[in-house]
Amino acid sequence: MIGDYSERLIVQEVSPRDGLQIEPRWVETADKIALIDRLSLAGFSRIEAGSFVSPKAIPALRDGEAVFQGLTRQPGVIYVALVPNLKGAQRAIAAGADELNLVMSASQTHNRANMRMSCEQSLQAFRDVVTVAGETRLSLNGSVATAFGCPFEGAISEDRVCALVDHYLELGMTGISLADTTGMANPRQVGRLVRRVLERLPAAQLTLHFHNTRGLGLCNVLAAYEAGARRFDASLGGLGGCPFAPGASGNICSEDLVNLCDEVGIDTGIDLSLLLELSRTLPALLGHDLPGQVVKAGRNCDLHPAPNFDA
């Protein structure tokens, strides 16, 4: 059932971080900065602009400091940095990030694979970050990866996810992200979990991070919006793959999401034309095609000339 679409949907653009992090081709610092600056001009109010992880682990983003220091800040735009630990947080704070995003998995096995520590060790490390960030103006966001399923463990209990959300809030984080890291969520599950989590914090503090791995990314956005969620991660061109499924999509595509919103009448504040123009620059920058659909098909309003019937 289609509900009330009158409230704005906030798209947090993650291509500069979650998109670029697994690209094999090096993207020059100046190109990263140009991308972020053009994204801010297209109307995004939140951009995950980089990460402060070990350069050995994520060489593609080893220039985080230079990126944050080089971008042209637009008023009202929040530039987010992903940080794995205290050292990363200190680097991000020094580089001028507005918000720190901390990630751990609801799945122990996935957290060990991704972070090389147990969930308990992750939470302990977050305490140190909270202490340091508490002395600054920065806000903190806690992401729960594999919140809708784990590629190693399978189903993740909703009680487990809710307990982690409670833990994050107790630690003092103001933002919470629920991430469908490998695209296992379905709309029914999404509606149910979003309603449970929104009993714990206001919609303005909750972000949903969906992948389109099995083609359900935008279905899940609609289900979450209809359950009350208002903020969603998305990536220009759908940049950012799925490490477990070569050829499958990863992040939902920003311009496809904005197009959906435009078509059903949900305001995003984002200029789709500018976004499509920017998306068209990606294949040359990265050396490969991207999964975004609207950039290939055009908008509904891009009409085709009628064939000449006399020919």
Q: Does 264 bind a second copy (CB under 8 A)?
A: yes
Taking the complex as a whole, the smallest distance from the CB of residue 177 to a second copy amounts, in Å, to 21
Q: Which of 80, 173, 178, 223 binds a second copy (CB under 8 A)?
A: 223
Task: Please give the residues from 41 up to 80 whose contact with a second copy meets the rule CB under 8 A.
Answer: none
List 119, 150, 242, 253, catalytic entry: 242
Output the six-digit token pair for 29: 């610092």
DSSP 224-242: HHHTT--EEEEBGGG-S--
As a whole number of angstroms, the distance between CA 214 and CA 244 comes to 12
Q: How far is the CB of 236 from a second copy (least distance, A)?
A: 14
Tell which one of 147, 242, 272, 282 touches a second copy (CB under 8 A): 242
Active site residue 242: yes
Window 145 to 204, contacts with a second copy (CB under 8 A): 149, 151-154, 182-184, 186-189, 191
Among residues 212, 251, 254, 268, which is the contact residue for a second copy, using CB under 8 A? 212
Instruction: Specify the residue, 85 or 212, whose C-beta has the smaller distance to a second copy.
Output: 212
Question: How many angstroms separate the CA atoms of 210 and 217, rounded?
Answer: 6
Work out which of 94, 113, 163, 204 binds a second copy, going by CB under 8 A: 113
Q: Which stretch binds a second copy (CB under 8 A): 19-27, 29-37, 91-99, 244-252?
A: 244-252
Quick check: 101 and 74 in contact, CB under 8 A?
A: no
Separation in Å, CA 257 to CA 41, 59, 164, 267, 283: 18, 29, 28, 11, 19
Distance from C-alpha of 56 to C-alpha of 94, rounded to nearest angstrom: 20
Binding span for a second copy by CB under 8 A among 77-85, 105-113, 121-129, 201-209: 105-113
Short-list 296, 295, 287, CA closest to 20: 287
Per CB under 8 A, 305 contacts a second copy: yes
- Phi-psi sector, 287: left (phi>0), alpha (psi -120 to 50), beta: left
Q: In angstroms, give the least distance from the CB of 204 to a second copy.
A: 21
Alpha helices in the chain (DSSP H): 29-42, 64-70, 86-95, 108-115, 119-134, 158-171, 187-197, 217-226, 254-264, 272-279, 282-286, 294-297
Residues that bind a second copy (CB under 8 A): 1-3, 5, 109, 112-113, 116, 149, 151-154, 182-184, 186-189, 191, 212-216, 218-219, 222-223, 226-227, 242, 244-249, 253, 256, 259-260, 263-265, 289, 293-294, 296-298, 300-301, 303-307, 309
Looking at the annotation, which residues are catalytic?
A: 242
